[in-house]
Amino acid sequence: MAHFEGFRLVAPDLSRVIDASRPGCPFCPERILSVTPRLPDAIARGGRVQRGEATLFPNISPYDRHSVVVALTREHFVAADRFTAVQLADGLLASLAYFRALPGSRRGSHSVVTWNYMPPAGATQVHPHLQAFSTNRPGSLLEEEVRCSRRFWRRHHLPYWKELAESEAASGERFVARGQHTVWLTAFVSRSVVSDVLTLFPGRAQLEELSHGDVAEFAEGLTMALAALHEEGIRAFNLALYSAPGGDTNPHFWLHARLSPRIFFNPAIEGSDSTAWQHLLDEPFMVRSPEALAERLRTRWGTLGESPGPTPGTGQRRRERRGPGSPR
Ligand SMILES: [Zn+2]
């Protein structure tokens, strides 16, 4: 971790971008059904999946053969602390309906959902939207996670992710909360310079396995995390849900999500947080520790579902963490 003395988050003013993008936005309700493409009726009757405010349609810049966009809200712009759990859940449930409707064998294919919120996080539209796609080439990070999770399972006869959840709960330092369906913590090594939030789904390996209860609790937790990030001035983020390949049982793997805040180092000049270190040396660094973010999240985290909130540290010895992507 790099140490930047006195680093202070300053919220960028994105109002000009929001206003300028409103006229002509393809995802606003008055345009979306006339300008976006349609899916085959066999996948979605009428060409699109509609659920609550969410509208799902094919991505005109597809990542793979099966690749869609989910416009999440009717409003053109929603501040990160204003999303409702219902809006977020409906967007995810629309994605699940799409994945479940895909034809043929999905053996070896990963169902992936991503979210680039606002232009500093790579969004090409201000209007909130997810990407959902099915691919057998999900990228080296997820492929390595699956490979290393399998290896951990063979060696230790338990999922790495279970060990991660239990050891983080025991130490308490990066642990945020545990619900009935999800475990929340911050990432020991984060992609964001101000640390990432991880959500684990115990016993679930693939997105298609999620129940309504799983999705509802995740959406509820996500609204709390986003509100906490917004409160401190974060105005952009990336989110990904990492799913095991289809066609196999994957007891070694837990579906998980990573929420990664994006900032300007210097908002006055729109100075990106992606530097040569991450971009060219593949070396993430943090200017705020994951322990500090976890502490911040815990202070405002209510109870999630019906279970108790954060588990206090028990004073156990802090273990060296070996993530699925770490060299052994
Ligand atoms: Zn719009």
Q: For residue 44, how far is its CA from the centre of ligand 1 (angstroms)?
A: 23
Q: Is the pLDDT of residue 326 over 50?
A: no
pLDDT (tens digit per residue) in 145-155: 999 999 999 99
Report the alpha-carbon distance of residue 194 to residue 196 in Å, rounded. 7
- Mean of the per-residue pLDDT values of the chain: 90
pLDDT (tens digit per residue) in 290-304: 999 999 999 877 656
Asked if residues 253 and 244 have their Cβ atoms less than 8 Å apart, the reply is yes
pLDDT score of 244: 95
Q: For residue 246, how far is its CA from the centre of ligand 1 (angstroms)?
A: 34
Q: For residue 49, how far is its CA from the centre of ligand 1 (angstroms)?
A: 18
pLDDT (tens digit per residue) in 51-108: 999 999 999 988 888 999 999 999 999 999 999 999 999 999 999 999 999 987 778 8
DSSP secondary structure string, 88-99? Answer: HHHHHHHHHHHH
Mean pLDDT of 36-43: 96
Above pLDDT 90, what percent of the chain? 82
Q: For residue 291, how far is its CA from the centre of ligand 1 (angstroms)?
A: 36
Closest CA to 161 of 78, 296, 257, 300: 257
What stretches of 119-259 show up as alpha helix (H) in DSSP? 140-156, 160-171, 212-231
Strands (E), 41-161: 49-51, 54-58, 66-71, 110-117, 129-135
Of 328 and 145, the one with more pLDDT: 145
Q: For residue 260, how far is its CA from the centre of ligand 1 (angstroms)?
A: 23
Mean pLDDT of 205-225: 96
Q: For residue 317, how far is its CA from the centre of ligand 1 (angstroms)?
A: 50
pLDDT score of 47: 96
Tokens (6 digits) for 212:
């309504």
Q: For residue 229, how far is its CA from the centre of ligand 1 (angstroms)?
A: 23
pLDDT score of 325: 34
Q: Is the pLDDT of residue 308 over 50?
A: no
Cβ-Cβ contacts under 8 Å for 290 (sequence gap 6 or more): 174, 186, 187, 188, 190, 195, 196
CATH class of 15-300: alpha beta
User: What are the residue boundaries of the structural domains of the chain, listed by start?
Assistant: 15-300
Write down the residue that tokens 């997810």 correspond to. 130
